């Protein structure tokens, strides 16, 4: 073979190589974004998207009595039984659902209102700001279970701090954990104590970003402090309020760890909450359909709150930009 | 006419300032009262944990025969300062082991999260590809569906993967983060595209570009994300309680929960408050030192 022939052969093969290389590079450029997203997508698919679907599927199945016996498709029957007072689960569940709604509807507005008030009070030049910020924010960083362990002492019947203080004012004491009326309140107090600081710092940051000229104009008009809050601050903060409301509602559905140390829903699920109820029931084979159905209901409630907040309230919210 | 109006405005201004001053004084008093109430659980914990365990803050004594029980509050007269509660708490629960588990859990989650969110955030911020918006939408569903709610199906998944009672099982549901992806995507979008072009001309591939351009310019965002991620997972309770069984796979919070359960009507005051401090102190001390960073991180995580 002459050198020219070798040269030629080399040239054509390198041309082919180049073509393959270009094709590869193009394929790589097309594939790269998908490969970059893959890990995130895979984890979110496996632990958020698929479980949501699988909960919906499992909620329509009545499990067999033994492991070997296959489950049976029962349509929406599990949901019906959740609300049927003649079944074991239906005896408790409606009350737990109601508790959860009350818990959300009470703790969210109360902690938001307190957070707003605190933020207003803190939004000025003051020396003790760091102290106050610590006092109200540290519960956010404290595990709910730690908080509940301390509150268990505060709520103790005879030697608890709550009853001791109440008693020293000559008022009637309560069974904070155990009484059907006071236990849910005790549970809600822990949640409000824990969350208020978080919403407070969000409000405080929003307040500090407000334009000052509006307030100067209002001062010239001789507006009272209350009027300024009502007619300037609250409307200007409506976007913040919407955001806080959405995340507060989502958080409230998940705040159940405290029940582990505070009575586990005593008496008879009167203070129980949905997520904790799921946790209590999931290990029993017969309950598989039920706990999945409750999961679906919980998901729907979360979605309903979010969608409601975003569609109905967003229209009224004022945005600076 | 005009003078009287001006006078009126003047008068209004005076009442306004007076009103404002009164209001601000009221606010300060209210703040102090509320802050004190808010601090009660912490103060209580600190006080009880260093007193002898047979000297509770509040106890009842029986007076002369026939008189009802009397409640005695004894805040200041603990006979001595002691660490015996901590020693006893260490006899019951293996806090050292659980502390390590918590660290592995928290930093394991964070390490994987940082990798996954940097990669996906870069793709969503700076690349065009088919199905981008749909994929982003699917990922952002996680913002609406917290994994805490999915404990039942996730438990089944972990079981079927054969990972029950492992440290990996603790972490897996948190490896992908829609919130982190979104947060970092916003930050990456602010990075001038010229910097990326310059790096490309210098011969950087996508990995080099991420490493030399994007990651250095998003350190504040990554720090904020890290602080929020760490404090969230440090405090995780229900999922670790469900998914683990062996002591060496259980984080601090679960240890505390179990210690609290063995408590018979307040007999273990000292040990439990000591446990509460063991579980909580790390984050609280960090918060005391880096107050501003913590608050800014939580703010950034809240405000997009």
Give the domain ranges of chain A. 3-58, 84-313
CB B249 within 8 A of CB B236: no
Which chain A residues in 40-59 lie under 8 Å from chain B, judged by CB atoms?
40-52, 54-55, 58
Nearest residue of A to residue B158, measured between CA atoms: A47
**Residues in chain A within 8 Å Cβ distance of B256:** 143, 145-146, 149
CB A261 within 8 A of CB A145: yes
For residue B304, the model assigns a pLDDT of 39
Nearest residue of A to residue B169, measured between CA atoms: A47
Which chain A residues in 202-241 lie under 8 Å from chain B, judged by CB atoms?
202, 205, 219-220, 222-225
Average of per-residue pLDDT across A282-301: 92
- The DSSP letter of residue A313 is I
CB contact under 8 Å between A145 and B237, yes or no, is yes
Nearest residue of B to residue A54, measured between CA atoms: B153
For residue A305, the model assigns a pLDDT of 84
Domain count, chain B: 3
pLDDT band with cut points at 50, 70 and 90 for residue B85: confident
- The answer, for A131 touching chain B at a CB cutoff of 8 Å, is yes
Which residue of B69, B150, B207, B275 is the best one to mutate when testing the A interface, meaning the one whose CB has the most A CBs within 10 A? B150
Nearest residue of A to residue B117, measured between CA atoms: A40
Q: Are residues B36 and B95 in the same domain?
A: no
Torsion sign across C-alpha atoms B241, A95, A255, A175: negative
**Residues in chain A within 8 Å Cβ distance of B9:** 220, 222
A75 to A56, A61, A62, A79, A87: CA distances (angstroms): 11, 7, 9, 9, 17
For residue A320, the model assigns a pLDDT of 42
Q: Are residues B211 and B95 in the same domain?
A: yes
Hey, is A93 helix, strand or coil? helix
CB A84 within 8 A of CB A290: no
Q: Are residues B236 and B123 in the same domain?
A: yes
pLDDT band with cut points at 50, 70 and 90 for residue B50: confident
CB contact under 8 Å between A133 and B56, yes or no, is no
Residue A121 has pLDDT above 80, yes or no: yes
For residue B271, the model assigns a pLDDT of 87
Instruction: Report pLDDT digits (tens) over A62-75.
Output: 888 777 778 888 88
Residue B230 has pLDDT above 50, yes or no: yes
pLDDT band with cut points at 50, 70 and 90 for residue A10: low
Q: Are residues B74 and B7 in the same domain?
A: no
Instruction: Report pLDDT digits (tens) over A148-168.
Output: 999 988 898 877 888 888 888
B43 to B52, B141, B257: CA distances (angstroms): 16, 41, 20
* C-alpha span between B39 and A139 (Å, rounded): 9
Residue A9 has pLDDT above 70, yes or no: no
* C-alpha span between A83 and B206 (Å, rounded): 56
Q: Are residues B59 and B176 in the same domain?
A: no
**Residues in chain A within 8 Å Cβ distance of B293:** none
Q: Are residues B66 and B95 in the same domain?
A: no
Share of chain B above pLDDT 70, in %: 85
Average of per-residue pLDDT across B130-149: 91
Average of per-residue pLDDT across A299-314: 82
Residue B87 has pLDDT above 90, yes or no: no
φ and ψ at A55, to 5 degrees? -65, -40
- The answer, for A176 touching chain B at a CB cutoff of 8 Å, is no
Burial environment of residue B5 by CB neighbours within 10 A (0 to 12, 13 to 18, 19 or more) = exposed
Q: For chain B, give me the number of helices (H) and strands (E)?
A: 14, 2
CB contact under 8 Å between A40 and B27, yes or no, is no
**Residues in chain A within 8 Å Cβ distance of B233:** none
Q: Are residues B285 and B200 in the same domain?
A: yes
Residue B255 has pLDDT above 80, yes or no: yes
* C-alpha span between B233 and B210 (Å, rounded): 27
For residue A97, the model assigns a pLDDT of 95
**Residues in chain A within 8 Å Cβ distance of B58:** 159-161, 164
**Residues in chain A within 8 Å Cβ distance of B298:** 140, 198, 201
CB contact under 8 Å between A58 and B153, yes or no, is yes
pTM, two decimals, is 0.88
**Residues in chain B within 8 Å Cβ distance of A149:** 256-257, 260, 272, 275-276
Q: Are residues B42 and B16 in the same domain?
A: yes
Average of per-residue pLDDT across B56-77: 66
**Residues in chain A within 8 Å Cβ distance of B169:** none
* C-alpha span between B181 and A37 (Å, rounded): 10
**Alpha-carbon gap: A58 to the closest alpha carbon of chain B (Å):** 9
Closest C-alpha to A89, from A260, A254, A255, A293:
A293
Closest C-alpha to B95, from B225, B211, B248:
B248
Q: For chain A, give me the number of helices (H) and strands (E)?
A: 14, 2
Q: Are residues B168 and B60 in the same domain?
A: no
Q: Are residues B141 and B240 in the same domain?
A: yes
CB contact under 8 Å between B176 and A40, yes or no, is yes
* C-alpha span between B241 and A4 (Å, rounded): 76
Nearest residue of B to residue A139, measured between CA atoms: B38
Burial environment of residue A73 by CB neighbours within 10 A (0 to 12, 13 to 18, 19 or more) = exposed
3-class secondary structure per residue, A253-265? HHCCHHHHCCCCC
Rg over alpha carbons for chain A, rounded to the nearest Å, is: 29
For residue B3, the model assigns a pLDDT of 52
Beta carbon pairs, A and B, within 8 Å: 283
Domain of residue B157, CATH code: 1.10.3720.10
Share of chain B above pLDDT 90, in %: 52
Phi-psi region of A81 (alpha: psi -120 to 50; beta: other; left: phi over 0): alpha
Assess whether the previous peptide bond of B172 is cis (omega < 30° from 0). no
Q: What is the dihedral of CA A21, A26, A27, A31, to 10 degrees?
A: 140
Q: Which helix (H) or strand (E) holds A164?
A: helix A161-168
Domain end residue (candidates: B29, B63, B82): B82
- Residue carrying the six token digits 């109440």: A166
CB contact under 8 Å between A44 and B176, yes or no, is yes
Q: Are residues B33 and B73 in the same domain?
A: no
Among the partner-chain residues A44, A275, A306, the one whose CB lies closest to the CB of B149 is A275
Closest C-alpha to A229, from B53, B19, B181:
B19
Angle at B58 between CA B52 and CA B59, to 5 degrees: 90
* C-alpha span between A45 and B138 (Å, rounded): 9
CB contact under 8 Å between B153 and A54, yes or no, is yes
A43 is written with which tokens? 């984890």
Burial environment of residue B283 by CB neighbours within 10 A (0 to 12, 13 to 18, 19 or more) = buried
Residue A94 has pLDDT above 80, yes or no: yes
For residue A87, the model assigns a pLDDT of 87
Other Cβ atoms less than 10 A from the Cβ of B248: the count is 12
For residue B16, the model assigns a pLDDT of 64
CB B150 within 8 A of CB A51: yes
Share of chain A above pLDDT 70, in %: 93
Tell me yes or no: is domain A84-313 CATH 1.10.3720.10: yes
- The answer, for A165 touching chain B at a CB cutoff of 8 Å, is no
- The answer, for A130 touching chain B at a CB cutoff of 8 Å, is yes
ipTM of the complex: 0.86
- Cross-strand pairs, B60: B71
Domain that holds residue B233: 84-302
Residue A321 has pLDDT above 50, yes or no: no
* C-alpha span between A16 and A19 (Å, rounded): 5
A143 is written with which tokens? 């595990």
**Alpha-carbon gap: B103 to the closest alpha carbon of chain A (Å):** 15
Instruction: Report pLDDT digits (tens) over B11-37.
Output: 666 666 777 788 778 888 889 999 999
* C-alpha span between B105 and B107 (Å, rounded): 6
For residue A263, the model assigns a pLDDT of 87
* C-alpha span between B261 and B263 (Å, rounded): 5
Residue A198 has pLDDT above 60, yes or no: yes
Which chain A residues in 285-304 lie under 8 Å from chain B, judged by CB atoms?
291-292, 295, 298-299, 302-303
Among the partner-chain residues A141, A159, A161, the one whose CB lies closest to the CB of B284 is A141
Q: Are residues B75 and B161 in the same domain?
A: no
For residue A1, the model assigns a pLDDT of 47
* C-alpha span between A304 and B112 (Å, rounded): 32
Chain mean pLDDT for chain A: 87
């Amino acid at each position: 073979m002459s050198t020219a022939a070798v040269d030629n052969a080399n040239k054509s093969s390198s041309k082919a190589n180049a073509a393959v290389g270009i094709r590869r590079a193009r394929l790589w450029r097309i594939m790269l974004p998908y490969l970059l997203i893959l890990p995130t997508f895979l984890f979110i698919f496996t632990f958020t998207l698929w479980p949501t679907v699988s909960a919906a599927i499992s909620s329509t199945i009545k499990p067999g009595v033994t492991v070997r016996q296959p489950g049976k498709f029962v349509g929406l029957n599990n949901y019906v039984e959740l609300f049927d007072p003649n079944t074991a689960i239906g005896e408790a569940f409606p009350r737990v659902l109601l508790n959860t709604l009350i818990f959300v509807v009470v703790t969210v507005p109360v902690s938001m209102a307190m957070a707003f008030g605190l933020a207003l009070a803190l939004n000025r030049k003051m020396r003790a700001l760091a102290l106050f910020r610590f006092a109200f924010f540290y519960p956010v960083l404290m595990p709910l279970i730690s908080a509940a362990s301390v509150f268990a002492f505060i709520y103790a019947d005879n030697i608890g701090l709550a009853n001791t203080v109440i008693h020293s004012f000559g008022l009637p004491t309560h069974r904070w954990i155990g009484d059907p009326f006071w236990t849910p309140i005790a549970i809600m107090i822990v949640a409000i104590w824990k969350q208020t600081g978080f919403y407070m710092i969000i409000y405080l940051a929003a307040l500090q970003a407000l334009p000052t000229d509006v307030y100067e104009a209002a001062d010239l008009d001789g507006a009272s402090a209350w009027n300024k809050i009502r007619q300037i601050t609250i409307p200007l903060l409506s976007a913040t309020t919407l955001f806080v409301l959405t995340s507060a509602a989502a958080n409230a559905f998940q705040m159940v760890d405290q029940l582990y140390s505070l009575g586990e829903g005593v008496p008879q699920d009167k203070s129980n909450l949905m997520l904790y109820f799921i946790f209590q029931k999931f290990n029993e084979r017969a309950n598989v359909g039920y706990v999945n159905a409750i999961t679906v209901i919980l998901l729907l409630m979360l979605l309903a709150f979010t969608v409601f907040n975003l569609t109905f309230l967003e229209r009224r919210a004022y945005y600076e930009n | 006419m005009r003078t009287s109006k001006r006078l009126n405005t003047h008068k209004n201004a005076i009442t306004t300032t007076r009103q404002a001053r009164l209001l601000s004084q009221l606010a300060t008093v209210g703040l102090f009262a509320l802050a004190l109430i808010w601090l009660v659980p912490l103060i209580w914990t600190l006080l009880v944990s260093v007193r002898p365990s047979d000297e509770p803050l509040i106890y009842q004594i029986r007076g002369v025969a026939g008189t009802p029980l009397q409640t005695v509050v004894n805040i200041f007269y603990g006979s001595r300062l002691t660490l015996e509660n901590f020693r006893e708490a260490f006899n019951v629960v293996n806090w050292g082991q659980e502390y390590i588990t918590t660290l592995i859990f928290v930093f394991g989650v964070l390490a994987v999260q940082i990798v996954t969110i940097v990669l996906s955030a870069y793709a969503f911020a700076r690349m065009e590809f088919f199905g981008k918006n749909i994929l982003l939408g699917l990922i952002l569903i996680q913002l609406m569906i917290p994994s805490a709610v999915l404990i039942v199906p996730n438990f089944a998944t972990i079981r079927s993967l054969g990972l029950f009672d492992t440290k990996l099982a603790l972490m897996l549901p948190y490896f992908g983060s829609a919130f982190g992806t979104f947060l970092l995507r916003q930050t990456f979008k602010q990075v001038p595209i010229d910097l990326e072009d310059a790096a490309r001309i210098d011969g950087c591939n996508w990995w080099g570009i991420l490493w030399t351009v994007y990651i250095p310019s998003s350190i504040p965002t990554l720090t904020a994300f890290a602080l929020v991620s760490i404090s969230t997972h440090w405090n995780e309770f229900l999922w670790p309680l469900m998914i683990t069984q062996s002591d060496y796979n259980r984080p601090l919070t679960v240890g505390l929960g179990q210690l609290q359960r063995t408590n018979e009507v307040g007999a273990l005051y000292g040990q439990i408050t000591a446990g509460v401090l063991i579980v909580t102190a790390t984050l609280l001390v960090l918060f005391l030192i880096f107050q501003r960073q913590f608050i800014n991180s939580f703010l950034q995580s809240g405000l997009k």
